[in-house]
Structure 1
Amino acid sequence: MKYLHNCCVLAWIIYLLGQFIAAEIYSSTSQIKDELGRLRQDNTVSLLRQLLDSQERRLASMKRFVQSLDQLEGDMKDPEFNVHHPLDAYRFIKNHSVVYNDSVTNLLNELKTHEEEQDEITKLARKLTAFHKDDLLGAIQGLIRIQDVYGLETQDLADGNVRGLHRRKMTALECQDMMIVAFHSDLVDLALEWLEVALQRIEAGDDTITYTKILCKAAAVAFNVKYELTAAMLYEYVLERNPRSRYHRQKMKYYQGYNTQDVVRYPLPHEGFHKACQMTIENKNHIRREHVCMLLDNGHPLLRYQPAKVEVLSQDPYISVYHDCFNLEFLTKLIELAKPQIDRSKVGGKGNEYTAHFRTSKGLFLEFTNPLLKFYKYVGALTMLRHESFEQFQVANYGIGGHYEMHGDFLDSNEKDHKINNRIATFMIYLTDVEEGGATAFSKLDVSIAPEAGKAVFWYNLHPDGERNYLTAHGACPVISGDKWVGNIWIKEQGQEFTRPCKLDKNDLKWT
């Protein structure tokens, strides 16, 4: 009865947790950090444990009261009991006027308190944080992305070693999670590596999952993603362990019945992006040889007494970095403005925005306010572009393995303003340092920039004649460790007619 009661209470709490979900927390490192801080100060679990202990004691008391009632009924069932006998009549009246009533009254009181405590448990359960299964999936995808982009060894990651950052080893069951996501990410070789590590863990005594179960799961996932031959091969290992299993033999024949070849996979188109990301974590700033450094005031009053430190990384397309232009107090203020309203970042044009697996971050557009007006004017002085043509300032925070695949900031041909008011340029500022990873990579140019608080990157998205410049395709490398916050402004063409007029000669590709 006690076991049944505990199971009911636990099932009830789990049900309540399912009703209060903080979705997509994996896509914001800052949100995870805030939640961790809250949980460290929270005593909800301790209070729940105390209430459950009290419930167990109360249940034991109620059980004793019921046992006393059982005893009274036993006396009345005695075949020698005779209501006409004065002693039996006396005991009958006493039991049902005192003992019986006391037991029932105490039982009802305990039951009432028991129900009140259940209400308290309900309130406490509502305070607990429960993450959606999409958060778990997103976190695993982030780990696989870090491993794939930066070429981390499976054995190192399984041993808790992420480029020298050590944590406890992963269990065989955790390795299975990685294997499944790798299969679904079309990284079959990586998936089989994770399977091999998991099997080694099991052979060494890991009991989080059995040898047969993980092989069956691997075969099923491989089959679902059209690797039928791989699935059949994996089931041969299952049969080696279970030679008499009729079920497993039939399953292997089912997989073998698909006489197709495993789908031919072609190399992903972003190999250059992976290379640029890897170079950046080794060299911090991987830039081309012709970069130029200078102090620049653009003849603007705001820069006259404190010229900007500019590093030109590329002339065609024009890409430059501004160093030490923004102080930590200002950067922190921007993050504080964004935090309360931050939401999953979307892609697509106005009215057609959607979340996507290739952009894992949370962000928002800040409203145009006086502090931002000063910032816009300063950016206008740095870029020599009119701030009246700036779009809203966008702030983003990247989560576990947070990244943004290769893309261009210019508007595509199917978007309304692409011909008459495209995005001529982008100004992006790093709001925080990042411990490792998270660079901005222009893989077609062999240029990448490591994030550093206060550093800003500026580039033109269009050729001087107004055509889109596809060499400006760039991406955000996955964050390995640290809290990455960035902000950016997209700058429109209209309003720049006199500051940056279009050039009529298509062969004149340089803005400067």
Structure 2
Amino acid sequence: MQVRYLNLFRIAVVRDMSDEISILPIQSFYSLNDCVVAAELLNKVPLVMRFEPVLSDDECQQLIEAAASRLKESRLVNKVVSQIRSSRGMFFEEEENPLIRRIERRISELMNVPIEHAEGLQVLHYAPGQEYKAHHDFFRPNTPSAKNNRISTLVIYLNDVEEGGETVFPLLRLSVKPKRGSAVYFEYFYRDQALNDLTLHSSVPVVRGEKWVATQWMRRQRVRSLGLIPNPA
């Protein structure tokens, strides 16, 4: 998919050619270096897709075990405790071990964006009653973080949730049920801000069981190898 990146990512993201061009080509499956991922189109513009499987059961469990002892109260990018998210979370360092390196490279290939544009991989844990209220992943214009804004998101479900915990896009009337190893992907790099605003989404409260997710955000410009990865502490 590297050639596709050179031809598509640079045109769509760097040159802002058209709101009809997506970062990720719409296909029914994606043949990656180490696996094949099936895809379901949920919405075309803004692009929302569901992937399965992105991670194996073993990889999901390894991520959960690696993150569990490092969870902290969720914070925003400016390190303020979040008032809209009641989960606990953590960030892995860039390629901090072979598991993270393998997963980050697979995600980069799937999202069709070079790994240098990736924030650190985040893991969140939701207990019963915990949620992430409706929000956007991109940063509003005229804010410091908007200088190198996010352009796309991949949320990977690390476990099956007994009840609740769906990812809901209220303006698009979409609801995605957590399934271990699967993921939801969406873009919000469009010149038309109204299209970006349609990616408003939430993680509804967990009713029974627990919810684990891994989230990857991509930035418009590179952030890695420059000491610029903006992970909350």
Question: TM-score per shorter chain, which class?
Answer: 0.7 to 0.9
1:311 counterpart residue number? 40
Q: Report the alpha carbon displacement of residue 495 of structure 1 after superposing the two structures with TM.
A: 4.3
**Alignment of structure 1 residues 109-508 onto 2, 5 Å:** 294-297=28-31, 302=33, 306-347=35-76, 349-350=77-78, 352-356=79-83, 358-368=84-94, 369=96, 370-418=98-146, 420-463=147-190, 465=191, 467=193, 469-495=196-222
Unaligned runs of 5+ in 2: 1-25, 224-233
Q: Distance in 2 between matches of 1:293 and 1:381?
A: 14
Contact 2:128 2:210 in 1 (8 A): no
Unaligned runs of 5+ in 1: 1-291, 497-512
1:100 counterpart residue number? none
Contact 2:127 2:209 in 1 (8 A): no
Contact 1:408 1:461 in 2 (8 A): no
Q: Distance in 1 between matches of 2:81 and 2:36?
A: 41
Amino acid at match of 2:90: L
Give the alignment's TM-score, normalised by structure 2.
0.78
RMSD: 2.0
Amino acid at match of 2:175: S
Higher Rg: 1
Aligned pairs, number: 195
Q: Report the alpha carbon displacement of residue 400 of structure 1 after superposing the two structures with TM.
A: 2.5
Q: Report the alpha carbon displacement of residue 293 of structure 1 after superposing the two structures with TM.
A: 7.4
Q: Distance in 1 between matches of 2:202 and 2:80?
A: 19
1:54 counterpart residue number? none
More helix by share: 1
Q: Distance in 1 between matches of 2:215 and 2:61?
A: 15
Q: Distance in 1 between matches of 2:53 and 2:45?
A: 24
Asked which structure has the greater RCO (Cα within 8 Å, sep 6+), the reply is: 2
Give per-residue Cα distances to partners, 1:220-273, cap 9 Å, x unaligned.
xxxxxxxxxxxxxxxxxxxxxxxxxxxxxxxxxxxxxxxxxxxxxxxxxxxxxx
Q: Report the alpha carbon displacement of residue 461 of structure 1 after superposing the two structures with TM.
A: 2.0
Give the alignment's TM-score, normalised by structure 1.
0.36
Runs of 4+ in 1 over 6 A off after TM superposition: none
Which secondary structure state, in structure 1, belongs to the residue aligned with residue 202 of structure 2? Answer: strand
Contact 1:295 1:309 in 2 (8 A): yes
Which secondary structure state, in structure 2, belongs to the residue aligned with residue 382 of structure 1? Answer: helix
Which secondary structure state, in structure 2, belongs to the residue aligned with residue 341 of structure 1? Answer: coil
Which secondary structure state, in structure 1, belongs to the residue aligned with residue 144 of structure 2? Answer: coil
Which secondary structure state, in structure 2, belongs to the residue aligned with residue 448 of structure 1? Answer: strand
